[in-house]
Amino acid sequence: MRCLRVVLAACLLAAAAVTAGGCSATDEERTLVVLGPWTDGEEKPFLAALKGIEKRTGRSYVYKGTRSLRETLVAQLQAGAPPDVAIVSSPGDLTAYARAGDAYPLPESVVGAAVPPWAPAVTVDTKDGEARTHAYWAPVRLDLKSIVWSHAADTGKTPDWCLGVGSGATSGWPGTDWVEDLLLQRQGPAAYESWATGKTPWPETRPAWEQWAGILAANKGELGKEGLENGFELLKNGGYGLLNGGRCTHEHQGSFIRRHYTDDVLPTPTARFLGSDKSGKSGNSGKTGGTGRTGKAGGSGANAFEVSGDMAAVFKPSTAAWDLLGRLTSRAARDDWANAAKPGERPYFPGGTFGTLPQSQGTRDVQKLLEGAGQICLDASDAMPPTLRDAFYRAVLEFLGHPQDHDLLTRLLKQLEAERILQQREGAFVLDDLCDNPVGASP
């Protein structure tokens, strides 16, 4: 009887710390499962961080990595056997999980790890119909986009662009990155945010698609076809890194791609490769647009960068699960993670540089760009409702087959607009704050 009272007391204490979920006598003893996107050796530095947490807590953790994370997580949720913590790259998916009650709001003990713009607050209706706003996830790693990679000797040359959009079930996202970046650089963060959060009709994005079509006209007009035939990183000879293929000189890709290159390949902001609009300006600097919040540039996207991230959320709440999420965002874990990575694979985190071992030149250059950014904006397609994001991917793939076809682009934009209106009616656009100043939480 005394044992039962102890167990019940422990449950009540856990309930005070954990905002939702059950408790059992073995919650703090069982092995916690972490589901994540890293496989094929890429997971080794993360495993080192997890091992360090294990030593500090005495708890047991197991990591399960998969390239089909969305499908795997959905299957586990349907089976009633979710992981304790999942690391997901799409805030749009995470928002859907939060609305369905599958992901749990962060308790006060770890809510400080929800760093903007990677972890905006989400308003969800409770079972009683009451709207509650919470943070539901926290970034554990991040990447910088809006950059172009080239060999040092080719940096100042007219670009001969690389392109590959193949990526398994999610093929097309390297193309959506192009459209997003063109919108951000030409129209600025406020207009970008307005579009990405469902407020701006898709036909208004047409200039970005047409500018991309002009870029695709390079290489005798075959670049779109090459993009459809190539993976985003895997070469036909079994090597990795499009710049290592010998055909092209400039690659528009996120900071993660540096793992395939030597210190001779360095990043440059995309904005330096884009021409001005018809007015001769770099953007619509006279318009405010978007939310109109203080500190957000309404027009020019100068010194604005897209960012992406890998976010941790709890799907099986317990005191141990929340403790793990907090520790994954701690300085100790970030130092372990960074020190276990190769110089060209050092991860980036909110809050600055971590680890004590030397970095590659490309890693240092990306860190400087991130720290010196005027605005950072969350990857638009990652933040969209999943069905709209998938439609965006498909539209890019179809567009690449005939980028000069005016009627095709009109049809694609109409289809995307119809999906936007549908998702708007269903209340699927929940995220509002996708752009922010480049500040991070204290580790």
Q: Is the peptide bond before 117 cis (omega within 30 degrees of 0)?
A: yes
CA-based nearest residue to 89, from 108, 78, 100, 73: 73
> How many angstroms separate the CA atoms of 190 and 288, rounded?
7
Retrieve residue 177's tokens. 């990155």
Residue with tokens 């990183």: 233
Query: Furthest-apart CA pair in the chain: how many Å?
Result: 81
- pLDDT confidence of residue 27: 58
> How many angstroms separate the CA atoms of 155 and 420, rounded?
38
Q: Is the CB of residue 204 less than 8 Å from the CB of residue 410?
A: no
pLDDT in 10s for each residue of the chain, 443 residues: 333 333 333 333 333 344 344 444 455 578 999 999 999 899 999 999 999 999 999 999 999 999 999 999 999 999 999 999 999 999 999 999 999 999 999 999 999 999 999 999 999 887 777 888 999 999 999 999 999 999 999 988 999 999 999 998 899 999 999 999 999 999 999 999 999 999 999 999 999 999 999 999 977 789 999 999 999 999 989 999 999 999 999 999 999 999 999 999 999 999 999 864 433 333 333 332 333 333 343 444 569 999 999 999 999 999 999 999 999 999 999 999 999 999 999 999 988 888 888 899 999 999 999 999 999 999 999 999 999 999 999 999 999 999 999 999 999 999 999 999 999 999 999 998 899 988 654 44
For residue 308, the cross-strand partners are 143
- pLDDT confidence of residue 33: 98
> How many angstroms separate the CA atoms of 177 and 195, rounded?
14
Q: Is the CB of residue 61 less than 8 Å from the CB of residue 31?
A: yes
Buried b (16+ CB within 10 A) or exposed e, 301-330: bebbbbbbbbbbbbbbbbbbbbbbbbbbbb
For residue 125, the cross-strand partners are 131
Retrieve residue 71's tokens. 């499908």
Q: Is the CB of residue 168 less than 8 Å from the CB of residue 67?
A: yes
Q: Is the CB of residue 172 less than 8 Å from the CB of residue 393?
A: yes
Q: C-alpha angle with apex 313: 257 to 53, nearest 5 degrees? A: 80
Q: Dihedral, CA atoms, 29, 35, 41, 43, nearest 10 degrees?
A: -70
Say which DSSP state 349 is in. Answer: B
Q: Residue 415 burial by CB count (10 A; 0-12/13-18/19+): exposed, middle or buried?
A: middle
> How many angstroms separate the CA atoms of 390 and 401, rounded?
18
Strands 147-151, 250-252: pairing is: antiparallel
Q: Is the CB of residue 397 less than 8 Å from the CB of residue 172?
A: yes
> How many angstroms separate the CA atoms of 437 and 259, rounded?
27
- pLDDT confidence of residue 10: 35
Kindly list the structural domains of the chain, giving each domain's residue range(s) and its CATH number in brackets, ordered by start. 22-142+309-345 (3.40.190.10), 144-308+360-436 (3.40.190.10)
- Residue-wise DSSP of 82-101: --SEEEES-HHHHHHHHHHT
- pLDDT confidence of residue 302: 66
Angstrom CA distances, 278 to 201, 203, 269, 413, 417, stand at 21, 18, 21, 22, 25
Say which DSSP state 23 is in. Answer: -
Summary mean pLDDT of the chain: 87
Residue with tokens 């990677």: 118
Q: Residue 169 burial by CB count (10 A; 0-12/13-18/19+): exposed, middle or buried?
A: exposed
Q: What is the pTM of this model?
A: 0.87
Q: C-alpha angle with apex 243: 239 to 248, nearest 5 degrees? A: 125
Instruction: Name residue 155's amino acid.
Output: T
Phi first, then psi: what are they for 63, rounded to 5°? -105, 135
Angstrom CA distances, 371 to 332, 347, 440, stand at 21, 14, 10
Which helix (H) or strand (E) segment holds residue 56: the answer is helix 44-57
- pLDDT confidence of residue 274: 82
**Spacing of C-alpha 164 from chain mean position:** 19
Retrieve residue 221's tokens. 């007009």
